[in-house]
Structure 1
């Protein structure tokens, strides 16, 4: 048998293992159940891929992430290692062929989702395979207190009965102490060897800044640190908006979100990977499998959903070991927006029931039927028909997907994008000469005010409803405008595919999973509270706050986070600064940023003094956010 290092050199072209990898591999080779808690970028996949290559037989890898499965299979195949993934959408006869290949074709890796193991015939086929190792990736999904709980993970422990002598390797990047205990119990790990890498990233400076103008602060950060950067935002529109604004400021930027085609995703990612652009603005769809060593700065301009996601996204900075920055920019309205997005849009049991029943009615599925039926699905059309809020409905469907009741792809992008190519005054002239099109065009302009500046995602059903026209009439106007080169118009056929995994049983189906829904909603509320505590806590080292969340205690402050830097900063003489600001405002009106630049003082102190002067009624603030002396 070749040594672990020899396998690593032969297939991965590395001469040595990273911290803990060798120890985890040895534990697995000794037939020991093993739990590896390794923060993002720690090289978890090597821990099961190397020992599996050293032993006869095939490694069963259980993962909830289709994209990650495909990515790992593609990487293994590039190294001439035989690997297969049983992802959604594969027909039964094709599945049989793939499993035959695993049994007779000398394959080394079989990737499956936990939901696949709930199919008796697939499980029976797997039982007949020469399995040498069972790796459970994203193992936190087995815990009801994990940040992405999936009940199908609870069934994984049944594999212990079929493979009692085969080691289990549970892997996760983020798990609190409560989640760690859950994983060991729920997977039935027998006296597991626990390998835990510290969550501390000593080269990352965690920064939290409350700012009035986030774009201005981003500009300052990117100018000071011109190396590769990631800016995380919450939605696709923000991706386009921030990327466009950065380009107008002279930065080379691109964007990445789940609604892009695979070709667009790859093109934009390569622009950033090859450093043709400095910045990639992305939703959390970006990052899986990304390993770029020299990322200097990761910026969150909206509050993350939980500390787990924030930690993973922050950890994409500084993998070369050099000092790097993880920055959160906040404003007073962020707390309301986060609660509105993450808490108020959580589906409760009545809403989940309503969505599920209407979904079955939408596709005309009779009670007791529907299992394995497949449909093309448009979220916007569905929500419009039943007057459901889109985000809350999306969250409900995500929950149904995680429970294994249905499968859906995550690409809910619009079918149409468009942009006006002529100035607004020319559009008005066109409307005056084509009065039949007036109502439709004005509805489009009112709904999408930025449609002159960029390609804009376009909801056909919404415009039809708002303008009181048929969809076919809207399409006819769009085609006419395109022919006249008034608009650029792209129609995309990228509705999601929806597969029902169970027969329709209405309340009975929902009653079975509603206990998980209640726990999920409670968890998400607690997680957002932890994020708010991290952002708002002004008297504790940010590094300490993160480590404490994951159950790791340290005594020393990091010395480089925003809290530690603020302690070192020389105290500003408030009285002198107040006098200086009043002198400036005697001659002209200025906003806070202009005052900051003129006084060469940090924003926090300027805002403090301005608030004091406003309370003393020494200043006036105008509608354009400029200050003047009150006469």
Structure 2
């Protein structure tokens, strides 16, 4: 049998393991149930992929994230390792074929969602596979106190009955002590060996700055640190706006959010990965599977929903071990915005029930029916039809997705239909006059023989592959044919694919999950309070506060966060700066940026003195954000 290091070298071309990886692998190979808490960037996947490749049989990986499953399967296949994933939307006959491949085709990894394990027939098939390891990824989802609780995870412990001698490996990047104990109990782990990597990232300077002009501060940060950066925002609109503003300021910037096509996501990601763009402005859809070592700065310009998400996103900086910055910019209205964005949009049981019934009516699903039905879904259209608030509706749907009642795939899709509306001989004449378009047109005609008779659903990636052209080139030909009235072409964008996983039972469906809803709402309120405490606390080391949140005690300050650097700075006499500001304001009202430019002081010093003058009742702030002397 090859050693763990030989497997690592053969498939990943690494000569050494990261901290704790080898110890976790040894524990699993010894047959022990194992719990591993490894903060983001710790290399969790290696901990189950290496031992699985060392033994005969299949590693069963339970994961809640479709995108992560697809990403890991693609990465394994690239390395010549056979892996498959049973994601939502796959029909039963396809699942049978995939499981047959898994049983007889020498596959090494089978990825499943926890909801899939609730199907008795799938579980029966898995019971007959030569399973060598059961890995529970994102294991915090098993805990009602975790930030992504999914009740389907509670059923995973039943695998112990079927595979009593097969070790469980529970992996998570974020777990408080309460969540860790919950994971071990709910999974039924037997005397697990526990590994916990410190949450301390000694090379990351956690910075919290209260600023009036966030864009101006971003500009300063990016000029000072011209290396690769990520800016996290809360919505798609902000992605475009901030990226566009940065380009206007002369920065090479791109953006990433869940509403982009796969092609756009890949293109924008590559621009940033290849450093043709310094900055990528992104929602939290960005990050899974991203391991760019030299990210210098991660900037959040709105408050995160919880400390778990913030830690993971901030932790995408400095993975090369060099000093990096995790900057959180706050403003006076951020608290109000956070409460309206995270708390006021939480659905209660009444709203959830109403929304679910309307959702079933929207797709004309009768009571007692609907299981495994799949639909294209546009959230905005649905909300407009029933006058529902979009964010509250989305949160309600996301909750139902988490409970396994529906599956909401937020993969952007573009549905194309087309029909040739001129005779075939005229199409042939066109191709003879336009030889550059010929291969694409002939591929369409060969693939869709009925395209003259009716509007035909069109598979863009398939035609691109078969014609040996890019998707952009195929679309170019379609638009040209449409302009010349050779084809009738329709393209419709959809936000999501929606699958109903249970039959419709209205109140009965909601009643069985409503207790989880109220508990989850309370948890979200607690988590936001932790974020507000982190931001508001002016007299504590930020790194120490993060460690404390995750149950890791330390008495040592980090020395590099926004609090610690105030301790090492020489004490300034701000009286002269105060006088200078008052003199300037006697002439005219000025913004903080204008004051900074005129006095040539740092933004932090200006803000500090302005706050002092406000507290001492010397100044007032006008509606245009300009400071004036109080008369």
Q: One fold, TM greater than 0.5? A: yes
**Kept in 1: contact 2:377–2:494 (CA 8 A):** no
**Kept in 2: contact 1:206–1:561 (CA 8 A):** yes
Alignment CA distance shift 1:380-1:555 (3 Å): same
Question: 1:514-546 CA distances to partner (integer Å, 9 max, x unpaired)?
Answer: 010011001100000000000100111000000
Shift of 1:121: 0.5
Question: 1:340-397 CA distances to partner (integer Å, 9 max, x unpaired)?
Answer: 0100000000000111111111122222121122222211111111111000000000
Alignment of 1:4-19 (within 5 A): 4-19=4-19
Q: For residue 328 of structure 2, give the secondary structure of its aligned residue in structure 1.
A: strand
Give the equivalent residue in structure 1 for 2:141.
Answer: 141
| 2:125 is the alignment partner of 1:129 | no
The gaps in structure 2 that reach 5 residues or longer are 417-478, 484-488
Shift of 1:498: 1.4
**Kept in 1: contact 2:415–2:491 (CA 8 A):** yes
Give the equivalent residue in structure 2 for 1:33.
Answer: 33
Alignment CA distance shift 1:406-1:264 (3 Å): same
**Kept in 1: contact 2:256–2:283 (CA 8 A):** yes
Shift of 1:159: 0.3
Give the equivalent residue in structure 1 for 2:273.
Answer: 273
Q: For residue 512 of structure 2, give the secondary structure of its aligned residue in structure 1.
A: helix
**Kept in 2: contact 1:206–1:562 (CA 8 A):** yes
Alignment of 1:442-457 (within 5 A): none
Q: How many residues align?
A: 562
**Kept in 2: contact 1:37–1:174 (CA 8 A):** yes
| 2:186 is the alignment partner of 1:198 | no
Alignment CA distance shift 1:29-1:592 (3 Å): same
Shift of 1:622: 4.7
Measure the CA separation in 1 of the matches of 2:195 and 2:307. Answer: 21
Alignment CA distance shift 1:123-1:178 (3 Å): same
Alignment of 1:316-327 (within 5 A): 316-327=316-327
Measure the CA separation in 2 of the matches of 1:495 and 1:249. Answer: 32
Q: Which runs of 4+ in 1 moved over 6 A?
A: 412-416
| 2:89 is the alignment partner of 1:94 | no
Measure the CA separation in 1 of the matches of 2:629 and 2:32. Answer: 74
| 2:228 is the alignment partner of 1:228 | yes
Alignment CA distance shift 1:620-1:11 (3 Å): closer
**Kept in 2: contact 1:572–1:605 (CA 8 A):** no
**Kept in 2: contact 1:542–1:563 (CA 8 A):** yes
Give the equivalent residue in structure 1 for 2:47.
Answer: 47
Shift of 1:413: 8.5
RMSD (CA atoms): 2.1
Question: 1:253-274 CA distances to partner (integer Å, 9 max, x unpaired)?
Answer: 0000011001100000000000
Alignment CA distance shift 1:629-1:56 (3 Å): closer
Q: For residue 209 of structure 2, give the secondary structure of its aligned residue in structure 1.
A: strand
**Kept in 2: contact 1:378–1:412 (CA 8 A):** no
Question: 1:470-529 CA distances to partner (integer Å, 9 max, x unpaired)?
Answer: xxxxxxxxx9xx99xxxxx99543342211111111111111000100110011000000
Measure the CA separation in 1 of the matches of 2:362 and 2:490. Answer: 27
Give the equivalent residue in structure 1 for 2:56.
Answer: 56
Shift of 1:597: 2.8
Q: For residue 515 of structure 2, give the secondary structure of its aligned residue in structure 1.
A: helix
Measure the CA separation in 2 of the matches of 1:9 and 1:354. Answer: 55
Measure the CA separation in 2 of the matches of 1:405 and 1:397. Answer: 9
Measure the CA separation in 1 of the matches of 2:112 and 2:332. Answer: 44
Give the equivalent residue in structure 1 for 2:328.
Answer: 328
Shift of 1:575: 2.8
Alignment of 1:170-319 (within 5 A): 170-319=170-319
Q: For residue 149 of structure 1, give the secondary structure of its aligned residue in structure 2.
A: coil
Measure the CA separation in 2 of the matches of 1:143 and 1:173. Answer: 14
Measure the CA separation in 2 of the matches of 1:497 and 1:66. Answer: 13
Give the equivalent residue in structure 2 for 1:443.
Answer: none
Give the equivalent residue in structure 1 for 2:402.
Answer: 402
Measure the CA separation in 1 of the matches of 2:359 and 2:98. Answer: 32
Give the equivalent residue in structure 2 for 1:535.
Answer: 535
**Kept in 1: contact 2:414–2:493 (CA 8 A):** no
Measure the CA separation in 1 of the matches of 2:402 and 2:624. Answer: 47
TM-score, scaled to structure 2: 0.86
**Kept in 2: contact 1:145–1:179 (CA 8 A):** yes
Measure the CA separation in 1 of the matches of 2:156 and 2:277. Answer: 43
Give the equivalent residue in structure 2 for 1:429.
Answer: none
Shift of 1:585: 3.2
Measure the CA separation in 2 of the matches of 1:616 and 1:342. Answer: 34
Alignment CA distance shift 1:338-1:621 (3 Å): closer
TM-score, scaled to structure 1: 0.86
Shift of 1:626: 3.2
**Kept in 2: contact 1:415–1:495 (CA 8 A):** no
